[in-house]
A and B are shown apart, each in its own frame.
Chain A
Amino acid sequence: MIGQVQTDARERPLEFRDRRDNLAILGFWFFLGSDVVLFSCLFAVYAVFQGRVAAGPTPRQLISLGPVLVETVALLTSSFTCGLAIAAMRRGRTGPLAAWLGVTMLLGAGFVGMEIHEFATDVRLFGTWHQSGFLSAFFTLVGTHGGHVSFGVLWGAALLVLLWRQGLTPRVARRLYTFSLYWHFLDIVWVFIFTVVYLAGKIT
């Protein structure tokens, strides 16, 4: 029966077998909820300040969609490979799990590298976030997301080491699962940044 309440722990996936791991996963969802609120504050600031360009560039002048599209595809692909890693974990296959996780980390590192390059170019051509309210809001919003991704890359690399040293235990599985939630969540935030900052910046 679809949606039947499953009481037999052995029928559950590895990361949901222990009650404490269950609670840890639920707690991580609550953390993601608080991160939704954090990013909503930054989006609100951006929405208010995007027109206050002072002597600095307008969004239209600042943004070039080409490199950002490459960043977007890299992050979307990394979210996909992260999903494949968890799918491999569900089948108990450690090799593919580690491989897909490694690909995810590489794509994430590539994304961060491209974003750093984009920021450096922006600063060289248009000045730092001291320039205008728009640039302050832009660098804060996009940079906070980039900081999250950078942390995620380090976290994922640490989990790879943990997986290599301890094998696929329920505890390691739970940590990999919460990491995957974090990673997909960052992809969702990026979709909104791409839409609200980059695409909408090109409309007017």
Chain B
Amino acid sequence: MPHARKTERGLLSLGGLLLLPRFEHSSGPWPQIVGYALSLLLTLAATLLVVHHLIAPLYLPAVILFLAVLQAGIQLGLFMHLREGVGPSWQIVALVLAGIVALGIVIFSIWIMAFKSGVS
């Protein structure tokens, strides 16, 4: 299928590294062990930050949310083999779209409800 191959090459140059398909051929369970250790470490860090009041309460939600996003990235990259598949990794496109919709729902719900309580 020369046409399909051309499309694939086009996407590769267009989408950059993220759209390159690749299978995990690991000789040992090291990605899993590293991912597990990092998850435990990040969970522990977030918990200690909250319990021992190590950061001003104003910045604390943003910091622990950032740690959660890091941990989600570790799960996606090291455990879920996000890029695996034959052909372009359309799952990344789907997930990015879902993420944009999700962020919109959360941010605008909070915004509109805060605004409403301000005027009523």
Interface residues of A (CB under 8 A from B): 2-3, 5-6, 12-13, 16, 19, 22, 25-26, 29-30, 32-34, 36-37, 39-41, 43-45, 47-48, 65, 69, 72-73, 76-77, 79-80, 82-84, 87, 90, 180-181, 184-185, 187-188, 191-192, 194-196, 199-200, 202-204
The secondary structure that dominates the B interface is: helix
Tell me which residues from 38 to 63 in chain B have a Cβ below 8 Å from any Cβ of chain A.
39-40, 43, 46-47, 50-51, 57, 60-61
CB distance B102 to A76 under 8 Å?
no
**A124 to B101 Cα, complex, angstroms:** 37
Partner of B97, one of A33, A48, A184, A187: A33
* Nearest 6 Cβ contacts at the A-B interface: A40-B102, A33-B98, A29-B91, A3-B20, A44-B109, A80-B36
**How close is B38's CB to chain A, nearest CB, in angstroms?**
10
**A200 to B50 Cα, complex, angstroms:** 8
The secondary structure that dominates the A interface is: helix
**A45 to B84 Cα, complex, angstroms:** 34
CB distance B21 to A5 under 8 Å?
yes
**How close is B87's CB to chain A, nearest CB, in angstroms?**
8
**How close is B86's CB to chain A, nearest CB, in angstroms?**
5
Given A37-B98, A79-B75, A80-B36; A199-B86 close (CB under 8 Å): no
CB distance A16 to B20 under 8 Å?
no
Residues of chain B within 8 A of A73, CB atoms compared: 40, 43
User: Does chain A have a CB within 8 A of B26?
Assistant: yes
Closest to B8 in A: A5
CB distance A26 to B91 under 8 Å?
yes
Given A3-B20, A69-B47, A194-B43; A41-B98 close (CB under 8 Å): no
Residues of chain A within 8 A of B97, CB atoms compared: 33
Residues of chain B within 8 A of A44, CB atoms compared: 105-106, 109-110
**A194 to B72 Cα, complex, angstroms:** 12
**A192 to B36 Cα, complex, angstroms:** 17
Closest to A17 in B: B86
**A26 to B17 Cα, complex, angstroms:** 19
Given A185-B80, A204-B57; A77-B36 close (CB under 8 Å): yes
Partner of B86, one of A12, A39, A47: A12
**A27 to B40 Cα, complex, angstroms:** 31
**A72 to B39 Cα, complex, angstroms:** 10
A-B contact pairs, 24 of them (CB 8 A): A3-B20, A5-B8, A13-B23, A16-B84, A19-B86, A30-B94, A32-B95, A33-B94, A33-B97, A37-B105, A40-B101, A44-B105, A65-B51, A76-B40, A76-B43, A80-B36, A80-B79, A87-B32, A184-B79, A185-B80, A188-B71, A191-B39, A192-B72, A199-B50
Residues of chain A within 8 A of B80, CB atoms compared: 180-181, 184-185
CB distance B23 to A12 under 8 Å?
yes
**How close is A23's CB to chain B, nearest CB, in angstroms?**
9
